[in-house]
């Protein structure tokens, strides 16, 4: 794992996680505390996402996966979902306009079909426009649920067995990993959940078997670069044995 750059002098001796996952939680509660509509919380959370994703890229994180919209989030009020879709659209248009010189590779994980045609087109344009870059891979989980991801993987593997492309006796853990949205990427070393909630919320269930979790009692719109630094310090204090001694 890479070391921090010199500008992060207080963390210069610490190892960076290669892959960080973030459950961006607390936008609604942030807005409620301020007597604002939930959409205001999502807008504030969007600004934090921009800041933290760029910061992760700047300090040398190789993979960042952010949980933006889950398969269960469709159950929210239509007004809130509409506001979120507008926020996603505004961000993707901004990314095409302002981030074209960044080194970040953008990928979307999750089932895209339920989204509008213009949103799907923007996702594709961002992915295609960034795939030649050589910097951090940013996975944006939209309409993502880990159980749904595993069902999808099982169907793909089953189809491969049926068509004679996969030998059922050779199916192993790697076969599962190779059929997930994150195929070819390392499992997350660290998952951060702001907001103080102690739940994984259907996020990267397979990939997080040996991930270190850091729960932070701060709502996502208030999450800062310093909070990310602190999570990495905590990560460095963990003794990762992966089932060994």
pLDDT (mean) for 114-143 = 95
pLDDT at 11 over 50: yes
Q: What is the per-residue pLDDT for 7?
A: 44
Alpha carbon distance 91, 70 (integer Å): 18
pLDDT band at 10 (very low <50, low <70, confident <90, very high): low
Q: What is the per-residue pLDDT for 3?
A: 43
Closest C-alpha to 143, from 193, 75, 51, 79: 75
Task: Give the tokens for residue 209.
Answer: 């078997």
Q: What is the per-residue pLDDT for 13?
A: 81
pLDDT at 225 over 60: yes
Q: What is the per-residue pLDDT for 5?
A: 44
pLDDT (mean) for 214-224 = 97
pLDDT band at 244 (very low <50, low <70, confident <90, very high): low
Number of residues that this document lists for the chain? 245
Report the percentage of the chain scoring pLDDT > 90.
84
pLDDT band at 4 (very low <50, low <70, confident <90, very high): very low
- 8 Å CB contact between 203 and 191: yes
pTM for this model (two decimals): 0.91
Q: What is the per-residue pLDDT for 95?
A: 84
Q: What is the per-residue pLDDT for 207?
A: 98
Report the percentage of the chain scoring pLDDT > 70.
95
Q: What is the per-residue pLDDT for 8?
A: 45
Q: What is the per-residue pLDDT for 101?
A: 78
Per-domain residue ranges of the chain: 21-236
- Residues with a known catalytic role: 25, 73
Tell me which fold the domain 21-236 belongs to: Undecaprenyl pyrophosphate synthetase (3.40.1180)
Task: List, in sequence order, every residue forming a beta bridge with 213; answer none if it has no partner.
Answer: 191
| Residue 109 main-chain phi, psi, to 5 deg | -115, 140
Q: What does each C-alpha distance from 130 to 46, 74, 93, 205 come to in angstroms?
A: 20, 28, 14, 27
pLDDT band at 6 (very low <50, low <70, confident <90, very high): very low
Q: What is the per-residue pLDDT for 98?
A: 73
pLDDT (mean) for 70-95 = 92
pLDDT band at 166 (very low <50, low <70, confident <90, very high): very high
Collect all residues with Cβ–Cβ distance below 8 Å to 53 and sequence separation of at least 6: 64, 66, 104, 138
Question: In the predicted model, what is the mean pLDDT of the chain?
Answer: 92
Token look-up 């850091």 returns 214
pLDDT at 65 over 70: yes
Give the chain as a 3 state SS string: CCECCCCCHHHCCCECCCEEEEECCCHHHHHHHCCCCHHHHHHHHHHHHHHHHHHHHHHCCCEEEEEEEEHHHHHCCHHHHHHHHHHHHHHHHHHHHHCCCCCCEEEEECCCCCCCHHHHHHHHHHHHHHCCCCCCEEEEEEEECHHHHHHHHHHHHHHHHHCCCCCHHHCCHHHHHCCCCCCCCCCCCEEEEECCCCCCCCCCCCCCCCCEEEEECCCHHHCCHHHHHHHHHHHHHCCCCCCCC
């Amino acid at each position: 794992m890479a070391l921090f750059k010199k500008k992060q002098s207080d963390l210069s001796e610490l190892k960076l996680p290669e892959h960080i996952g973030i459950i961006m939680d607390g936008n609604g509660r942030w807005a409620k505390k301020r007597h604002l509509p939930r959409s205001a919380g999502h807008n504030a959370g969007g600004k934090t996402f921009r800041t933290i994703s760029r910061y992760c890229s700047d300090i040398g994180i190789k993979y960042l996966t952010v949980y933006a919209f889950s398969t269960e989030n469709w159950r929210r009020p239509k007004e809130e979902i509409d506001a979120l879709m507008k926020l996603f659209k505004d961000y993707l248009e901004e990314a095409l306009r302002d981030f074209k010189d960044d080194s970040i590779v953008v990928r979307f994980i999750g089932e895209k079909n339920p989204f509008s045609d213009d949103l799907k087109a923007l996702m594709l344009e961002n992915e295609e426009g960034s795939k030649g870059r050589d910097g951090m891979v940013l996975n944006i989980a939209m309409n993502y649920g880990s159980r749904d991801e595993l069902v999808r993987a099982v169907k793909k593997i089953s189809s491969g067995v049926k068509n004679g492309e996969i030998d059922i006796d050779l199916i192993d853990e790697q076969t599962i990993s190779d059929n997930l949205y994150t195929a070819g990427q390392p499992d997350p070393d660290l998952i951060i959940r702001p907001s103080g909630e102690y739940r994984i919320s259907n996020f990267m269930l397979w990939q997080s078997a040996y991930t270190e979790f850091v729960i932070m009692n701060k709502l996502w719109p208030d999450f800062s670069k310093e909070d990310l630094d602190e999570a990495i310090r905590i990560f460095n204090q963990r003794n990762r044995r992966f089932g060994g001694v």
